[in-house]
Amino acid sequence: MSTSALSTAAVWSRRLAVGTVLVTGGHLIGVPALPSSVTLAIVGLGLIAGIPHGAVDHLTATRLARGRSLTVIAACYAAVAAVVWVLLRWAGPAALVAVVVLSAVHFGLGELEVSRRLTGWRPGRLTAAATVVAGCGALALPLARSGEQFSAVAAAVSPGLARLLGAAPLQIGVIVVWLGCAVVASVAAVREGHTVVALDIVLIGALGLVAPPLVAFAVWFGGWHAVRHSARLLSVEPGCAALLARGRRRAAVHRLAGLAALPSLAVLMAVGALAGVTLAAPDPTAAVAEALRVLLALTVPHMVVVFWLDHDCDAEPGVGQAAAAARSTSSNCSPRRSSS
């Protein structure tokens, strides 16, 4: 049932990616590009939509810690995010580059984990590494393409980063590396009979190369990465897993949404407050930059929790589908298919 929920999420994320490419790709054939106000509105909605997928991290980490206080876990999570935000705000472009690279790794590992759960395929190290790089295309390719609005936001976050992203050798290098890894991962997936993995890589590439850079990342973040991760959480959170086991998928979704509601609201309020305090003028570009800075700061503790969760799942012995399904209702892991 948990795999079914993830499959449904994957289908809808693909539809959203295709729709975004069709709506925003008209500039390739001479259709006027979307107005900047519409573009920034889409970006804002995408970033907001992505916030809830990390809003139950404190609950997940508390279960993984096995006995640690929820208050302590939540305080540590918030402290890490606050420290990262301070570094992003005042430590210059080096901290920002480090966090962006870590975010790209996190996004790529997320795609690899989803492909494993959807297909049961466990590729070798080289193919897995190529899949991770290909999976972060919706961040890497928009960064490489830059663009006027993306550059403006990057300059608002860090002028040094904006200059770095504008360097042609870096842009060409990122695209070439991504294309090479995408080809390796896609060919390997097709050879093993997992065409859906290759399809996802193609859609990620199309979104990252065709849609306006900011739109590409925001839509992927809120409508692809967040949706798929939230579907995974349905089998991680014990109450949701129990509801899924009884076939009550809608109730499981409602429960997860309820658990994520207050933390998500807190993050949104923080973004609004920081934007109001730090912006000298009501500048939409600067507001998007501030939201990105907050989201990047939250990505670091979120990434730690997700890595911890995946490691905890991998550490369990492979015992067969029925036993794994039974275990998923009381542990942090969902069942996986055997490798093909």
Q: pLDDT for 274-329, tens place per residue? A: 666 555 556 667 777 777 788 888 889 999 999 988 887 765 443 333 333 333 33
CB 214 within 8 A of CB 43: yes
pLDDT, residue 200, reads: 97
> Mind listing the pLDDT tens digit for each residue in 43-60?
888 988 998 899 999 888
Secondary structure (3-state) at 146? coil
Q: Hey, what amino acid is at 230?
A: S
The DSSP secondary structure of 242-298, one letter per residue, reads HHHHTT-HHHHHHHHHHHHHHHHHHHHHHHHHHHHHH-SS--HHHHHHHHHHHHHHH
For residues 112 and 115, give the distance between their C-alpha atoms in angstroms, rounded to a whole number.
5
More confident residue, 166 or 4: 4
Percent of the chain clearing pLDDT 70 (strictly above): 84
pLDDT, residue 107, reads: 93
Measured between alpha carbons, how far is residue 14 from residues 176, 200, 204, 219, 245 in Å? 24, 7, 9, 11, 26
Residue 154 confidence (pLDDT) above 60: yes
Within 8 A by CB and 6+ apart from 205, the residues are 134, 137, 141, 178, 179, 182
CB burial of residue 64 (10 Å; 0-12, 13-18, 19+): middle
334 falls in which pLDDT band (50, 70, 90)? very low
pLDDT, residue 310, reads: 83
pLDDT, residue 115, reads: 93
pLDDT, residue 20, reads: 93
> What is the crossing angle of helices 238-245 and 321-328, to 10°?
130
E runs forming strands in 32-71 = none
Tell me the binding residues for Fe cation: 53, 106, 225, 229
* DSSP designation for 222: I
Of 23-37, 97-111, 129-143, 179-193, minimum mean pLDDT range: 23-37
pLDDT, residue 165, reads: 72
- Cα-Cα end-to-end distance for the chain: 21
pLDDT, residue 149, reads: 64
For residues 181 and 133, give the distance between their C-alpha atoms in angstroms, rounded to a whole number.
6
Q: Hey, what amino acid is at 302?
A: H
Region 251-278: what's the mean pLDDT?
83
pLDDT, residue 274, reads: 64
**Which tokens in the block code for residue 257?**
């949404």
Residue 338 confidence (pLDDT) above 60: no
**Which tokens in the block code for residue 126?**
């080289």
Tell me the binding residues: 53, 106, 225, 229
80 falls in which pLDDT band (50, 70, 90)? very high
Q: Hey, what amino acid is at 122?
A: R
202 falls in which pLDDT band (50, 70, 90)? very high
pLDDT, residue 155, reads: 72
Of 174-178, 193-197, 240-244, 266-270, minimum mean pLDDT range: 266-270
Region 228-243: what's the mean pLDDT?
90
**Which tokens in the block code for residue 129?**
């590494």
> Mind listing the pLDDT tens digit for each residue in 81-139?
999 988 888 877 778 888 888 989 999 999 999 999 999 999 999 999 999 999 999 99
Secondary structure (3-state) at 158? coil
Secondary structure (3-state) at 233? helix
What is the average pLDDT value for the chain, to the nearest integer? 83
